[in-house]
Chains A and B, each alone.
Chain A
């Protein structure tokens, strides 16, 4: 099962290395990981997508809790939540492909954010599934580069993960 863990971490050097090291050391998966300071500059938020059965996920959350710099964490997948990921795709476009690529981007509510004579750069935001689907939809177009931000997530409604 895929889980999205949201972790509040002391914004100290070494804290991120400790989290990443834990996953490597204990053989847990990381599908994606994003980290940035929050509105409180002493706290970072790390969002991590991992996979495992219930027992593995339980161990991961317990082991994360044990790290001294981890202040709080939540498994967003346990309740209603919203997830978003940003992707930028640079594709090679011949004159006759342009219309088709533009149409495809529109369907996925993507935006063309840069153009050259031979390329389009498209930005798409959504769930990871949607981004995958977009890449599939570009089938036939030559992709030069994809850049993905990794998943961010937030709980729906009143529920928050904050201090």
Chain B
């Protein structure tokens, strides 16, 4: 509220937009200019609170904003022009949507009176983005801009987070048309109430079920990270002596170095995690959504398990797998309530049963144990990730692209903290890794930020090496160069008699020269003994972007791998072994 004796300031729509972002605490906007947003860019130029980062392709702007959100928990902001600017942002919006990442995307639009005429650079961005956003809105009157910005952030960041698109016709931001500016403090929508705390009766039932369990497992997903509930999760898991598995999106939610951690589950999960799930009598799912890359065939999924499921989104509960004890609520307050009830009721765990269960788990751990073959002639990608883990003391932000390298990073970089592992799990977007690393590095310049990528993926947004130069973003690129679209090749090996239909990348660039052409440092590693000195040098070059082009075994596959159509615990363990 403005006090009675001060007149609200008069601002143009464009200036109101930027001021509203500043009032929302936004430090950086990632974007690319064009006709429909020129008034906004001019307003941006005339202030210094909100800084603009000029990418080289709008997709990169969305991934930068997205990764900033994944690392910080706050919505990232994108600004693009109408038409091609907006459509270039679509992949990034879909990427954020699939992983429930808060993001506000501001798109220019042609002048209101031209909408519907197929005007120059007009696309129906509300229509295009509708299936891949949490919400979208368009500005009809310039004076609504502060309210709509507030609403966009509120929706993006609350409940199950997600991207929000705000479409702004050019005539909403005309510099000469000014309106009183007042940024709302709070907002309430009668149709949207995202703050569920969980039903206490259900929570009690869940706790009783867990206390009585003989073969329990805690299955934690990205919701724990988004909900900032790792501490509560960790305390509860230890109190109940639960084995803990994390999804691809949940890595770091529970410390990987903890003895109760049994690794990632699902398609490329550990043998022990998938066995524990399959044989469990109680599955305690927290902020996870029983994705098809986790469950394998749903008909054969965990036959003996009573399922407790905490999620803020009721639509995620009993969507693919029926939950016996559903709890709709934000994970943090629900886990706090569980801890509180546990404190009071002093229920006894079945120590004998749990002892047997842990004994069994220990045996499963020994079956595969993350082993991989070594090769006298080739560097193994797994070994590279282990070396990166050592050199960064396990404390880096690691972004990745999509493919085998992503799975190796997930399996072998042991994440002990939440918000450190940044990858496109839901959409599986190649091209995500580099811009994501940039978004993190910009906000955490002191932190080590590593992008694990492949020679296929990196080329999908390689132009951003130029943006890195402009803003001095010293990320380390670990290019696990196997000369193939490796994950595609792996499927062709396994299902198509090694017919490598378009999975070989001919005429790859010289990545070292390429990095240098952009003004960075490039290092090539082709032999095992070159790896340590190369990493040594790369991480010593503190503020430099170093592109490590590491040639790894082109024949390597990712294991374990669930057998399609099977139960969770049916897996290939190597090229020659299966369960």
Contact = CB atoms under 8 A, between A and B. Distances in A.
Q: How large is the interface on A (under 10, 10 to 19, 20 to 34, 35 or more residues)?
A: 10 to 19
Nearest to B189: A68
A58 B126 CA distance: 27
Nearest to A58: B318
B313 interface: yes
A71 B190 contact: yes
Contacts of B314: 62, 65
Nearest to A15: B191
B131 A59 contact: no
B130 A163 contact: no
Nearest to A26: B131
Interface string B112-148: 0000000000000011001100111110000000000
A25 B131 contact: yes
A21 B315 contact: no
B191 A71 contact: yes
A59 B322 CA distance: 12
Nearest to A70: B191
A38 to B, nearest CB: 14
A1 interface: no
Contact of A55 (B191, B313, B318): B318
A14 B191 contact: no
Given A17-B130, A21-B131, A163 B190 contact: yes
Contacts, number: 34
A146 interface: no
Interface string A13-28: 0100110010001000
A69 B189 CA distance: 9
Interface string A100-143: 00000000000000000000000000000000000000000000
A92 B224 CA distance: 66
A69 B130 contact: no
A6 to B, nearest CB: 15
Nearest to A24: B131
B191 A69 contact: yes
Interface string B366-404: 000000000000000000000000000000000000000
Interface in B341-376: none
Contacts of B131: 21, 25
Interface residues of B, number: 19
B155 interface: yes
Contacts of B189: 68
A115 B189 CA distance: 51
A66 interface: yes
Given A59-B319, A68-B135, A10 B191 contact: yes
Nearest to A8: B191
A162 interface: no
A103 B131 CA distance: 50
Interface in A31-66: 55, 58-59, 62-63, 65-66
Contacts of B318: 55, 58
Contacts of A14: 126, 130, 136-138
A66 B315 CA distance: 8
A62 B191 contact: no
Nearest to A71: B191
Contacts of A71: 190-191
Nearest to B135: A68
A65 B136 CA distance: 16
B155 A68 contact: yes
Contacts of A70: 191
Nearest to B137: A14
A128 to B, nearest CB: 28
Contact of B191 (A21, A25, A59, A68): A68
B315 A63 contact: yes
Interface of B: 126-127, 130-131, 134-138, 155, 189-192, 313-315, 318-319
The 5 closest A-B pairs by CB, nearest first: A62-B315, A71-B191, A68-B135, A25-B131, A62-B314
